[in-house]
Amino acid sequence: MSITTQEISPQGQVFLVRRLSLEEFAAVAEALPDDRLELINGEIVMSPPPDKTHMSLADRILELFAYHIKEIAAVGCQISGSRYYAIPKELNQQWVDEATEGPDNVCPDVSIYYSDYLEKNRRPPAPLMVEVLSVSKREHIDRDLIVKAHIYAALEIPAYWVVDRRDTSVWVHTGPSGGNYILREQYKGDQALPAPGLEFLYITARQIFERRSEP
């Protein structure tokens, strides 16, 4: 069931926000299959259409993961380029207790997920999430670097990579604890990107960007 809350803008204006449940969001997403929608704090967010560089980088990451498909399968995982991950209500304690925040249901650009996470409600559902940084607006940058970091930490995802096309680097978040990541480090060049439990990947920022398309 959705709720409506009052919020105050930086200018002191009071406005109403309608927050959706996971079930309501699923119905909206099903009705708009051609739009990439996400649910963040109970509000529907539409991701900007990816440009050629964004798509090229996401495809490159999928290609690099595919080189290790046997090792990935051996640890009970699969690769996905578009898959939704929801934070259950019991993890959003403030939403449960006070009904002031809404649930989250997000779709990373690439992920390596546990094959049985839906059937077993496995936590974490995936060992690695990857977002290619959307740079069209400041709010999109903050969403990938800050908001989604909190969401993936709440899901206990061991590693979250943000591919930063602005300077050909990768921001690596590890050590999820209490809804935050303990470590956030920037990697460039030939430094191997940490991926706890998937050390066989040995992927570098240079490998990700070496075949990217120009904008």
pLDDT at 10: 46
Annotated domain spans of the chain: 3-209
Confidence of residue 94 (pLDDT cuts 50, 70, 90): very low
Give the DSSP H/E element, type plus range, for residue 112: strand 110-114
Q: How many other C-beta atoms can be found within 10 angstroms of the C-beta atom of residue 57?
A: 23
Give yes or no for residue 5 having a pLDDT over 70. Answer: no
pLDDT tens readout for residues 128-169: 999 999 887 788 788 889 888 988 898 899 999 999 999 999
- In the chain, the amino acid numbered 155 is L
Cis peptide before 124 (omega within 30 of 0): yes
pLDDT tens readout for residues 30-79: 665 655 555 555 566 666 666 889 889 999 999 999 999 999 999 999 99
Q: Could you tell me which residue, 81 or 79, shows the higher pLDDT? A: 79
pLDDT at 136: 75
Pairwise CA distance, residues 86 & 124, whole Å: 11
Average pLDDT taken over every residue of the chain: 78
pLDDT at 143: 84
Pairwise CA distance, residues 42 & 197, whole Å: 31
Q: Could you tell me which residue, 69 or 5, shows the higher pLDDT? A: 69
Lowest mean pLDDT across 8-22, 77-91, 128-142: 8-22
Beta carbons within 8 Å of 80's beta carbon, 6+ residues apart:
110, 111, 112, 113
Task: Determine what percent of the chain is predicted with pLDDT higher than 90.
Answer: 42
Q: Model pTM?
A: 0.74
Give the DSSP H/E element, type plus range, for residue 60: helix 52-66
Q: Which of 204, 43, 62 is nearest to 130 (CA)?
A: 62
Q: If one looks up domain 3-209 in CATH, what number appears?
A: 3.90.1570.10
